[in-house]
């Protein structure tokens, strides 16, 4: 590992020299490219140099272990133990920094929440989950926009699709895809029995036009009259849009906006992201059987989390984490789940690299 980083350090030092050259400074395109690469390499090189510095301190202290003075030997041993602990942590950080980056980590996301088994109760929980993610986005200072929704009579969602924009949105939320199970007494249950319902969550990296090329001949675009929400604000024109991608059979509808053009733009945004997700899933299935064994198949039918209301408990099944902090999580405090999840998947990725 250290030999590999020494090569990176040579390149890093060359970048620093290049960035100070007048001809590079004057060429903004080249300067920005070099600056971005320098910025990406800086954490690796800084951590590597810190490792070397700590290692040097350890070696400088070793002769003191042979000192005639017992107190000096004791202090030297304590200092070396502390430095070796620091070095171990730095080396772990360095391995994480050297892991291949997920190209989607910095992307915005399309978040799709759908009611699964459980009827109206599942739809009501879909609305609860929607509020959880909106509150988390507010805490993270991310922007949110509803792209499409299908509201039930009791105010739940059969389906709701949201765009979330901000820094590292995908890297924080990419492990949320899967089945979220709820155990509670439904509002529709008169006898107070606990029911189990399920909601599916899909986290798709937002696809730009450059990510996915869509041939207009592959699309069938239909317009229809919006049904409105709860019977109100019903459009009198055919402003709702349904787009069918003929090669895959994917269908996306949007009717939230009064403008047909806005509905079409939102529907295309969702379609592009779904197509990108399909493309990436196909690539992953071809090249990463090992990853499937490591983190599961990734199939969204897999149950990943249970929210138990009578016990105030949330269980994250993939890592065996149980928290009795349901109310805090419902208020959007997801980091207590997301941080351990990210750490777990990073550790699994490190195993795969070793």
CATH number for 84: 1.20.58
User: Torsion over CA of 139, 141, 142 and 146, rounded to 10 degrees?
Assistant: 70
pLDDT range class, residue 211, cuts 50, 70, 90? low
Examine the domain organization and report whether 45 and 136 are in the same domain.
no
Examine the domain organization and report whether 153 and 70 are in the same domain.
no
* Domain membership of residue 83 as a residue range: 2-98
- Over residues 21-42, the mean pLDDT reads 89
Per DSSP, the chain holds a count of helices (H) and strands (E) of 10, 11
pLDDT range class, residue 173, cuts 50, 70, 90? very high
Examine the domain organization and report whether 84 and 114 are in the same domain.
no
Answer yes or no: are the C-beta atoms of 132 and 330 closer than 8 Å.
yes
- Over residues 26-34, the mean pLDDT reads 89
pLDDT range class, residue 188, cuts 50, 70, 90? low
User: Torsion over CA of 173, 179, 185 and 186, rounded to 10 degrees?
Assistant: 90
- The SS3 assignment for 158 reads strand
Q: What percent of the chain has pLDDT over 90?
A: 44
Domain final position from 40, 65, 98: 98
Taking phi over 0 as left and psi of -120 to 50 as alpha, with beta for the rest, 301 belongs to: alpha
Answer whether residue 214 shows pLDDT above 50.
yes
Examine the domain organization and report whether 205 and 86 are in the same domain.
no
pLDDT score for 64: 93
Give burial (CB, 10 Å; 0-12/13-18/19+) of 142: buried
Which segment, 145-149, 162-166, 270-274, is predicted with the most confidence on average? 162-166
Answer whether residue 171 shows pLDDT above 60.
yes
pLDDT range class, residue 327, cuts 50, 70, 90? very high
pLDDT score for 1: 65
DSSP state of 246: T
pTM confidence score: 0.64
CATH number for 123: 3.30.70.1660
Residue 201 lies in a domain: yes
Alpha-carbon gap, residue 331 to 353, rounded angstroms = 37
- Over residues 56-75, the mean pLDDT reads 93
User: CB under 8 Å to 237, separation ≥6 — which residues?
Assistant: 225, 260
The crossing angle, in degrees rounded to 10, of helices 28-61 and 70-98 is 150
Domain final position from 37, 69, 98: 98
Answer yes or no: are the C-beta atoms of 180 and 317 closer than 8 Å.
no
The residues with which 183 forms a beta bridge, in sequence order, are 196, 308
Residue 234 lies in a domain: no
- The SS3 assignment for 161 reads strand
175-179, 250-254, 278-282: which has the minimum mean pLDDT? Answer: 278-282
pLDDT score for 62: 93
Residue 103 lies in a domain: no
Examine the domain organization and report whether 6 and 141 are in the same domain.
no
pLDDT score for 104: 83
- Over residues 198-204, the mean pLDDT reads 92
Number of domain units in the chain: 2
pLDDT score for 225: 74
């Amino acid at each position: 590992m250290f030999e590999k980083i020494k090569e990176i350090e040579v390149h890093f030092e060359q970048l620093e020299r290049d960035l100070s050259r007048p001809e590079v400074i004057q060429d903004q395109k080249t300067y920005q490219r070099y600056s971005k690469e320098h910025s990406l390499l800086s954490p690796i090189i800084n951590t590597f140099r810190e490792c070397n510095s700590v290692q040097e301190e350890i070696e400088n202290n070793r002769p003191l272990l042979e000192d005639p003075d017992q107190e000096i030997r004791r202090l030297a041993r304590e200092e070396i133990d502390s430095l070796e602990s620091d070095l171990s942590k730095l080396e772990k950080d360095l391995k994480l920094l050297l892991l291949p980056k997920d190209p989607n980590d910095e992307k915005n996301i399309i978040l799709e929440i759908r009611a699964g088994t459980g009827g109206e109760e599942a739809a009501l929980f879909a609305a609860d989950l929607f509020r959880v993610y909106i509150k988390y986005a507010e805490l993270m200072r991310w922007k949110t926009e509803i792209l499409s929704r299908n509201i039930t009579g009791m105010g739940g969602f059969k389906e709701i699709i949201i765009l979330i924009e901000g820094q590292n949105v995908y890297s924080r939320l990419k492990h949320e895809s899967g089945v979220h199970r709820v155990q509670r007494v439904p509002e529709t249950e008169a006898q107070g029995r606990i029911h189990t319902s399920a909601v599916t969550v899909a986290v798709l990296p937002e696809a730009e036009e450059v990510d996915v090329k869509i041939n207009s001949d592959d699309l069938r675009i239909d317009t229809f009259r919006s049904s409105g929400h709860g019977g109100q604000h019903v459009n009198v024109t055919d402003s709702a849009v349904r787009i069918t991608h003929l090669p895959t059979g994917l269908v996306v509808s949007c009717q939230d906006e009064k403008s047909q053009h806005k509905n079409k733009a939102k529907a295309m945004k969702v379609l592009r992201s779904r197509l990108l997700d399909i493309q990436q899933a196909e690539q992953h299935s071809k090249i990463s059987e090992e990853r499937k064994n490591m983190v599961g198949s990734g199939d969204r039918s897999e149950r990943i989390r249970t929210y138990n209301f009578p016990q105030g408990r949330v269980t994250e099944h993939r890592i065996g984490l149980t928290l009795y902090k349901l109310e805090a999580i419902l208020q959007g405090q997801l980091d207590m789940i997301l941080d351990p999840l990210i750490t777990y998947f990073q550790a699994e990725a490190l195993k795969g690299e070793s």
